[in-house]
């Protein structure tokens, strides 16, 4: 969201921090995926999640940001993307993980 809101040196700081913080998502996400469902379905959950994540993160979302950029509201695309990520960050609070002994 801050990429769409800030300008000047604060924007440079956010752009520098964005990839550093993005990689912090993957270890807990894969840990959560490994505890969703039974042992027999874990591989299916991961095998469906990765392609969908690539399609959305590498195709759909950049396309939407580009469309908004063509309409002259480029920062709104980043604000919407940030809002979706914040919403997605709340979803794990509702996960019912199956922990094994």
3-state secondary structure the chain: CHHHHCCCHHHHHHHHHHHHHHCCCHHHHHHHHHCCCCCCCHHHHHHHHHHHHHHHHHHHHHHHHHHHHHCCCHHHHHHHHHHHHHHHHHHHHHCCCCCCC
pTM of the model: 0.71
Convert the pLDDT of each residue in 48-92 to its tens digit: 888 998 999 899 999 999 999 999 999 999 999 889 888 888 887
> At how many degrees (to 10) do helices 74-90 and 61-70 cross?
150
């Amino acid at each position: 969201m801050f990429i769409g809101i800030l300008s000047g040196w604060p924007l440079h700081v956010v752009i520098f921090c964005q990839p550093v913080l993005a990689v912090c998502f993957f270890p807990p996400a894969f840990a959560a995926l490994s505890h969703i469902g039974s042992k027999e379905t874990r591989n299916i959950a991961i095998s469906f999640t990765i392609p969908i994540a690539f399609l959305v993160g590498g195709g759909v979302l950049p396309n939407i940001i580009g469309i908004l950029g063509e309409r002259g509201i480029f920062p709104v695309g980043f604000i919407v993307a940030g809002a979706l990520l914040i919403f997605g960050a709340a979803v794990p609070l509702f996960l019912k993980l199956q922990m094994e002994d």
